[in-house]
Chain A
Amino acid sequence: MDRHIRWLLVTPAVLIVIALTIFPLGFSLWVSFVQYDFTLGPEHPWVGLDNFVENWKDPVWRASLWRTVWFSLSMVAIELVLGMLLALAMLRPFRGRRALMTLFVIPLFISPVVVGGFFDLFVRRPYGIANQLASWVWPGTVTIDFSNDSPWLYIVLIIADVWQWTPFMFIIILAGLAAIPDTLYEAADLDGAKPRQSFLFVTLPLVLPVVLIAVTFRLIDAAKLFDIIFSLTRGGPGTDTYTTSYYLYQQGFEFFHLGQGTAGAWMFMIMLTFVSYWLVRRLLKPLEEAA
């Protein structure tokens, strides 16, 4: 028993993961090459690359890909800057810091679909308070239709995501900052470094690896953006806020073009794998060393 126990311990976990990921992936590969469309009937004739081509013919698919790219990049960029500033502001202890820390991490434990929901509630005209708040800072009465007016609907989506995920950046960067030994600052101080210099030449280079890890994890997740879109805009108006995940969901579960949706999912996954692989390879060196 003891001789085989190492394999016995690993097997159940490996098996269940294989059963529910490898198998569906293989199955979906088949689906993406046949006609699998609940609106067309129960037969599944081989259609070659048609399902893949269908996606590329659809301007909404192409637009959704670009939107996914610029959404994720702008969301993560804002979260990075805010998270960094917040971590710097929270680094030194002060009264009430512990309570604030608890408050700051709350968004991480809320379902994104719920976050989208209450941002909708927040900006919905005329019952939400967003316009009223804007009127206080902006001269005159502000009446923005946040769910229809470009660019406001994008801004609201980005803010909702920033609201939820800035704590993620914050907490990781804070850990990175706290790990920098004081002696380095003392040395910089003795060498006559000005505060700005010791930030540029001590803090930044040392915290950079941790920042890159945080950015990697966030980018990988942001590229899958779905929940907030679902509850905040439902992709609308029209298809203006479709992300790739939302587009694929619509293809599969609103129109029941399962073949086309699966083919699109495969292409999306391959693109994501390339990007994640590149990011992980380049940026997650510490993980590799741990393994």
Chain B
Amino acid sequence: MTSVPERSRDAAGATRVVRGGRFRVGGVVRFVFIGVYVAFLLLPLYWMAVTSIKSQDDQLSDPPVWFPSDPTSVNFADALNRFNGWKGLQNSLIIALVTTVLAVALGTTAAYSMARFRTGGKHLAFWFLSQRLMPPIAVIIPIFLLYSRYSEEWFGVTLIDTRIGLILLYTVFALPFTVWMMYAYFRQMPAELEEAALVDGCSRLQALLKIAWPLAAPGIVSAAAFAFIFAWTEFLFAQVLGRSEAVTVPVALAGMITFFQGNLYGQASALTVVSLVPAVLLGILVQRHLVRGLTLGAVQG
């Protein structure tokens, strides 16, 4: 507390007011603020978690029950078995995993080429970035038409309401992100090791597969996590393109919340709790790379 930078950091920190040299209002205000924010963050989460273990009576009681006297797991069983829960989880898991693999494979190779050979230069990089700016609603109608009417006619494949249809689309929407993250990563990675491997008789492809990829593993892991989370939480495309067979978790949840007007809140909460597990684990995993991932490398974290 006595060193100069510490003290001035505090000045930058909470707008500190020193009264009588002892009592620091700034410090108190700071922790009160954090406390209030934590409450704001936790209350809706708590309410959802507690709703998932409430019986129907407790859910509909007025005044609301803060904690059920007889917690039940019936909502979980219901959500998973009767209301598309398992199906949704399975679909979401498969779709998110395959999307992640595809986006990482295509994205890292493209990013590698762009970073090492300056392929396409600035323009290609910005073209990838510009894909992120496009509102999904702008392409959803033509993609719906393409999937539902023309894909069979033209290519002989069914894309509407299939996992493969969503996987293709999610890969495209996750790619700009992966490319940008990995582009930034490869650029700050020294090229000497790959060059040494080339001198030793490796081909470029071998240098990429055996040297560059393993070295870039930390970057790849976080790019993969972001691709996974995107596919795990996406709603609009899944709602329009995957209505009965390729139901994902968000679509299953939206169905419970909106179509039955309040009757399935326990089940919806239960499924939400289940769906949070992988998301939170991945969140913890990528925390270190969070800033770079969220801003496509514009800010170094």
Q: Which residues of A contact B (CB under 8 A)?
A: 1-2, 5-7, 9-10, 12-14, 16-17, 19-21, 23-25, 27-28, 31, 82, 85-86, 88-92, 100-115, 117-122, 124, 126-129, 132-133, 163, 168, 171-172, 175-177, 179-180, 182, 185-186, 188-189, 194-196, 198-199, 202-203, 210, 213-214, 217, 220, 223-224, 226-227, 230-231, 234, 244-245, 248-249, 252-253, 258, 261-262, 265-266, 268-269, 272-273, 276, 280, 284, 286-287, 290-291
Residues of B near A19 (CB, < 8 A) are 172
Residues of A near B43 (CB, < 8 A) are 122, 129, 133
Decide if B64 touches A127 in the complex (CB within 8 Å): yes
Residues of A near B61 (CB, < 8 A) are 127
Decide if B12 touches A185 in the complex (CB within 8 Å): yes
Residues of A near B190 (CB, < 8 A) are none
**Distance between B112 CB and nearest chain A CB, rounded to angstroms:** 6
Residues of A near B133 (CB, < 8 A) are 220, 272-273, 276, 280
Q: Which of A31, A117, A231, A291 contacts B122 (CB 8 A)?
A: A291
Decide if B254 touches A231 in the complex (CB within 8 Å): yes
Tell me the nearest residue of chain A to B112, going by C-beta.
A9
Decide if A175 touches B300 in the complex (CB within 8 Å): yes
Beyond A118-B45, A291-B126, 8 extra complex contacts between A and B, CB < 8 Å: A24-B146, A27-B142, A101-B287, A114-B250, A121-B268, A217-B294, A231-B257, A287-B297
Decide if A249 touches B139 in the complex (CB within 8 Å): no
Assembled-state Cα–Cα distance A5/B205 (Å): 8
Decide if B298 touches A14 in the complex (CB within 8 Å): no
Q: Is the interface of A mostly helix, strand, loop or mixed?
A: helix
Residues of B near A199 (CB, < 8 A) are 11-12, 15
**Distance between A231 CB and nearest chain B CB, rounded to angstroms:** 5
Assembled-state Cα–Cα distance A284/B133 (Å): 13
Decide if B205 touches A290 in the complex (CB within 8 Å): no
Decide if A128 touches B272 in the complex (CB within 8 Å): no
The segment out of B70-78, B213-221, B273-281 that lies at the interface is B273-281
Tell me the nearest residue of chain B to A159, going by C-beta.
B40
Considering the complex, which residues of chain B in the window 22-78 have a beta carbon less than 8 Å from any beta carbon of chain A?
Answer: 30-31, 33-34, 37-38, 40-45, 47-48, 51, 59-64, 66
Tell me the nearest residue of chain B to A199, going by C-beta.
B12
Considering the complex, which residues of chain B in the window 100-148 have a beta carbon less than 8 Å from any beta carbon of chain A?
Answer: 106-107, 109-110, 112-114, 116-117, 119-120, 122, 124-126, 128-129, 131, 133-146
Decide if A13 touches B236 in the complex (CB within 8 Å): no
Total number of A-B contacts with CB less than 8 angstroms?
A: 326
Assembled-state Cα–Cα distance A129/B39 (Å): 14
Decide if A117 touches B172 in the complex (CB within 8 Å): no
Assembled-state Cα–Cα distance A135/B96 (Å): 43
**Distance between B275 CB and nearest chain A CB, rounded to angstroms:** 7
- Top 3 A-B residue pairs of the complex, sorted by shortest distance between their CB atoms: A195-B11, A185-B8, A111-B233
Known: A128-B64, A129-B64, A230-B235. A92 touches B120 (CB 8 A): no
Residues of B near A110 (CB, < 8 A) are 233, 276, 279
Q: Which of A113, A133, A261 contacts B141 (CB 8 A)?
A: A261
Assembled-state Cα–Cα distance A227/B282 (Å): 22
Decide if A6 touches B235 in the complex (CB within 8 Å): no
Known: A10-B120, A24-B146. A217 touches B139 (CB 8 A): no
Decide if A1 touches B141 in the complex (CB within 8 Å): no
Q: Is B199 an interface residue (CB 8 A)?
A: no
Q: Is B210 an interface residue (CB 8 A)?
A: no
Q: Which residues of B contact A (CB under 8 A)?
A: 4-16, 30-31, 33-34, 37-38, 40-45, 47-48, 51, 59-64, 66, 106-107, 109-110, 112-114, 116-117, 119-120, 122, 124-126, 128-129, 131, 133-146, 168-169, 171-172, 175-176, 179, 184, 187, 203-205, 208, 229, 232-236, 239-240, 249-250, 253-254, 257-258, 262, 265, 268-269, 272, 275-276, 279-280, 282-284, 287, 290-291, 294-301
Decide if B14 touches A89 in the complex (CB within 8 Å): yes
Decide if B15 touches A195 in the complex (CB within 8 Å): yes
Decide if B249 touches A111 in the complex (CB within 8 Å): yes
Residues of A near B187 (CB, < 8 A) are 290
**Distance between B51 CB and nearest chain A CB, rounded to angstroms:** 6
Decide if A175 touches B257 in the complex (CB within 8 Å): no
Assembled-state Cα–Cα distance A112/B236 (Å): 10
Decide if B47 touches A21 in the complex (CB within 8 Å): no
Decide if B294 touches A168 in the complex (CB within 8 Å): yes
Assembled-state Cα–Cα distance A99/B34 (Å): 13
**Distance between A222 CB and nearest chain B CB, rounded to angstroms:** 11
Assembled-state Cα–Cα distance A202/B12 (Å): 9
Q: Which of B12, B34, B168, B249 contacts A16 (CB 8 A)?
A: B168
Tell me the nearest residue of chain B to A117, going by C-beta.
B257
Assembled-state Cα–Cα distance A273/B132 (Å): 11
Tell me the nearest residue of chain B to A25, going by C-beta.
B139
Decide if A188 touches B8 in the complex (CB within 8 Å): yes
Decide if A128 touches B47 in the complex (CB within 8 Å): yes
Decide if B47 touches A17 in the complex (CB within 8 Å): no
Tell me the nearest residue of chain A to B272, going by C-beta.
A114
Decide if A127 touches B60 in the complex (CB within 8 Å): yes
Decide if A268 touches B250 in the complex (CB within 8 Å): no
Residues of A near B179 (CB, < 8 A) are 13
Decide if A265 touches B9 in the complex (CB within 8 Å): no
Residues of B near A276 (CB, < 8 A) are 133
Decide if B119 touches A10 in the complex (CB within 8 Å): yes
